[in-house]
Structure 1
Amino acid sequence: MIIKDSKEKTIIPNVSVYNTQRSLTVLSDIEGSVDYSDFKKSDTLVFSHIAYEKFKIRVDKIPKSSSRTIIYLNSNTQKLSEIILSVGRSKENKEKISKKVSLIIPKKTELDLPQTSADLLYYGGGIRIQKTQGGGGSPVIRGFEANRVLLVVDGVRMNNAIYRSGHLQNAITIDPNVLERTEIIFGPASVGYGSDALGGVVHFYTIKPKINNEKEWTVKGLESYNSHLNHMVSNLNFEYSKGNWASFTSLSYSDFGDIIMGENRNHGFKNWGLNKFYLNKEKFNTESVLNKNPNIQKNTAYSQFDLLQ
């Protein structure tokens, strides 16, 4: 099978072809060719490409021909310009803004499932995240952080200039599963927020429930586990809409284990970084306890429960 543009009749590489159950996926090669022989006759194939409209067809409905079958896709002509909200405090097209602004939307992150809102900021580019432990995250923009980077949630400030100048981990108090968009403003574009936005602004926008939605109830959930980072994240979202009234509720629980260091030290310092003792939190950190596994950094575990209504 060959996939082509319906107007230009040119081949389309990198088209994702999968069944509705998403149990099998193939990709068209540089010549637009794709082998669909592994699909069942009862499968419905979905042809997906970022620049074209999705196309669906059952395998047994694909026309047979003596030569190779051709599938035509229609180009997506309704692609709109991205809207920026935080620079001029009003809607502006991204192409018309002279300042450097990064926009992060769920489509960019839905396959990776960032564990915290601090990890989410990696997708904006030009921003570094300092981590004290697995669940930590202090955004650094152009060398500035903490009280010189302003964090805003739906127009409400989370910090200001009187906060500490060291690493500030309050960015992780925002659940990434409740965010509709995140905008990062760099440099002089942030002066509209005041002197405490010297380094930049990170503006989080939470999900707004849809009024008079077709579906009265919308329920979404996810759960992820990472054995390398020893963390687990669970989330459940409820959206209710009826008439001119709508509600959105989100419940999340995050659990991050202690940091585990590698056992191989090829630089010649066998004891480098080992934590042979740790402080007993039950006795207000006044007593040292022998660490049975020095490769584990005790007391770096972190857990958090988030509720948004």
Structure 2
Amino acid sequence: MLPCDAERLAQRHGLQLPKSTSHAGYVFSNFDEFLALYDRVGHVIREAEDLREIAYRYLSTVSEEGTVYVEFMISPGHSIVNGIPFLSQISAISDAIEQAKDELGILSCIVITCVRHRGGDEAVDVAEMAASARSRHVRGFGLTGNERAFRVQEFQGAFRIAEAAGLGLTAHTGEWLDGPSVLEAVDTLRLQRVGHGISVYRHHNIMSELSERGIGFEICLSSNFSLGACDVSDAHPALTMMENNCLVSFCTDDPAYFNATPASELRLAVRCLGLLDKDIKQVLNNSVDMAFCPENVKDLLRSEFRSLPL
């Protein structure tokens, strides 16, 4: 949700936004401040229609840049606290997905996420909601938030529920903790993908194992630089990961907070990592392989990418 959208919703519902929100962008100086601001800004979403508007506006924006597929990661706990039932959230975002598909040709799905620093009990509740959604748009389940809070074992129950429901599994890990923590999360939660995972670049044996297992990495350059997970002056770990055959895709994390879009992140990867056309083609193919969408959608995306002048 862009700052201008947050301000509009705050005015609509008669709410106050934190001073660190302005049309110029969200202001935070570290990861903890980002998490706190994210929670506070989320309070302006008070109705299901708010979610539909935000989702459609995002799809419209990125579609103009050439993006053809999006996975929305939503943490339903925030909106439930605001009085929006889970199924109403899914219905609203699904309506936006269908409208954007019909009007813009962009395809989308939903990944339901639990929040690590809220603990395993809430994660189980969220997983049960995700498993019972019965929506063709709900395709995945994930874990976001502060990876320093709670051991990954606390979330096994939630991920087994999601796995039994046939959802794709991903989790943010290895952004702040070490490389072995990434392997532990993959094994414990049975992940197909990892959000960030950049700390593995120091461990060639872990990179080799995860590459052989086809584990995808959702790399978020702008987020890493903004929050200090990586030093802008140093080579980003993604370069070493790609050189070691890791399955890398470039993602946006929380796009409005990091002024990121799928297209801008790919441009940043070209600029910072020196990617060539063959590398871009590989990254796009990785993105399709990693996606939680049905195989027929993957076939459409592969066909779309084959037509690009690369």
Q: Same fold (TM over 0.5)?
A: no
| Structure with greater strand percent | 1
Please state which band the TM-score falls in when normalised by the shorter chain: under 0.3
| Structure with greater helix percent | 2
TM-score relative to the length of structure 1: 0.22
Q: Which has the larger radius of gyration?
A: 1
